[in-house]
Amino acid sequence: MRAQIDRLAAWIKSDRGIAVGLFILGVLIRLPFRSRILHHWDSVNFALAMEHFDIRLHQPHPPGTFVFYVMLGRLVNWFLHDPNVSLVWISVLTSGLSATLLFWFGQRWFDRWVGLTAALLMLTSPLVWFHGEIALSYMLEFSWVVLLVMLCFRFHEGSDRAFLASALCLGLAGGIRPNTPVFLFPLWAFLVFKRRVPLRKIFVALIVMAVGVAVWAIPMIVMSGGPLAYWETMQWWGSQHLEKSDEANVAVYLARFGMYTLYAMGFALGPVVWALYRHWRDLTRALLRDGRAQMLAVWIAPGAAYLAFVHLKQPGHTFTIIPAFIVVAALAIVAVGRDLTKRGLRFWIGVTVLVIVGNGLLFGLAPSTLFGSTRSIFSTPTWAAIHEYDADVSARLEALRESFNPKDTVVVAGSRYFRLPDFYLRDYQMPSLSHELSEQPIALPEYVHTLVLFDDSVLPKFSAGPRVRVLPLPKDKVMRYVTWDASERLRLSQDSLEIYER
């Protein structure tokens, strides 16, 4: 019996035991905070795509390269029968998987303490924790990014098998999120150049990569109506995307990038600043001589440049490079521990505990917004943000169903809620109207006699008036609605509402 206990204790302390423990820990700490409502319009897009994939209907949204994520969601949903629950479970499980991969990667790339620190930082990073609780594709991307860079490192060490595997994973990555292969191809190409890979092998690897792309691209195009229909949708999306990008500027992107990085690093930012101050000469030399430092730099640079200066909207867009920042933070924490004393282990533990406890408290106790602002950079990735959103949407849906007849009611939502009617209110009239409205007014059908404005962002100038009524909600909130009789009709656009006689 004693021998069995000793063997178990030895296994728990081994790399395999730690990796399994990190996976279990990652899953367990996510379980109490899972979101109950589709948390974002993209979440609704994915949930609807699980029923019917067609980017022409924004199921999912263009460019539609989320095939593996949607299909994995369908597989999990076959057991759970709830799209939101299924997609959230994918986020939970890939959180644990990401911790395991970061540990293996960090300890192979640097040492055991760096790997363990990186895994613990990832598990308690407020931004990563938040996305491990909601129905979006970013945590699956996070895991795939770490796997891909791990294969690149093995290739850098001289493994021909890892070279082809990295090429395949790079091609497949587009089936999870479109930005992953774009931002990580420079790293792969850099290693190809550095290793002086023969042209014949490069050609074979590119064919393997193309096969990886074909695995998700061909089904995506077929399910979206064929090449012509897909191309027309992409042309429309491209023009819309550029138009929306023009609304922001470099200062906005830099501010977002800074805040999202801060949310990802949390209290780990302190050791990073310390290490940069104390070891900047060593870091400079490492960039010139150390292949690991060069890999980190090439991993970060393309994505960071694009996100900071070209386009950045959602915090999860940074997840192609956030794992690299977490590895940098882990290196910094280990360096701080070694700076403080020769007995680096004791101080490594102290600094690590302070950082992960601080980040955990930040996620668990911080408010949902900073400075009372609802702007994206001040919307914090916290448990409060998840809980308040779930409670708010649930209250609105419950009040709406109790008060309005689906047979003669249209619901229009805006801002982050604008696709919720498509999923949660499909028995109401014209559930897709929220994202189909334009500047050109349209008349609602004759059988419709009630218009409900789901949230405050919809037609804000119609907050009061003789025809506008309010339905009280919890926490002193209200939901506006307008009714009219059989002799009248309502004409509606993005910014106008008019009731007129037939």
**Residue, of 348 and 133, whose pLDDT is higher:** 133
Average pLDDT over residues 431-457: 90
By residue count, the chain amounts to 502
**Quick check: helix, strand or coil at residue 412?**
strand
Q: Which pLDDT value is given to residue 344?
A: 54
Mean pLDDT (the chain) is 89
**Residues 148, 184: contact at Cβ < 8 Å?**
yes
Flag whether pLDDT at 240 surpasses 90.
no
**pLDDT > 70 in the chain, percent:** 94
- The top-scoring range by mean pLDDT among 69-78, 105-114, 343-352, 452-461 is 69-78
Identify the burial level of 203 via C-beta atoms within 10 angstroms of its C-beta, where 0-12 means exposed, 13-18 middle and 19 or more buried: exposed
Q: Phi/psi zone of residue 279: left (φ > 0), alpha (ψ -120 to 50 degrees), beta?
A: alpha
Cα dihedral 7→12→14→18 (10° resolution): 170
User: What letter would DSSP give residue 33?
Assistant: G
Locus of tokens 């804000």: 460
pLDDT band at 345 (very low <50, low <70, confident <90, very high): low
Q: Which pLDDT value is given to residue 466?
A: 76
Q: Which pLDDT value is given to residue 72?
A: 97
Q: Which pLDDT value is given to residue 216?
A: 95
Flag whether pLDDT at 251 surpasses 90.
no
**Residue, of 123 and 414, whose pLDDT is higher:** 123
pLDDT band at 14 (very low <50, low <70, confident <90, very high): confident
**413-448 burial, b if ≥16 CB within 10 A, otherwise e?**
bbebbbbbbbbbbeebbbbebbeebeeeeeebeeeb
Flag whether pLDDT at 346 surpasses 70.
no
pLDDT band at 202 (very low <50, low <70, confident <90, very high): very high
Flag whether pLDDT at 281 surpasses 90.
no
Average pLDDT over residues 91-101: 97
Average pLDDT over residues 160-165: 92
The amino acid present at 77, given as its one-letter code, is N
pLDDT band at 342 (very low <50, low <70, confident <90, very high): low
pLDDT band at 4 (very low <50, low <70, confident <90, very high): low
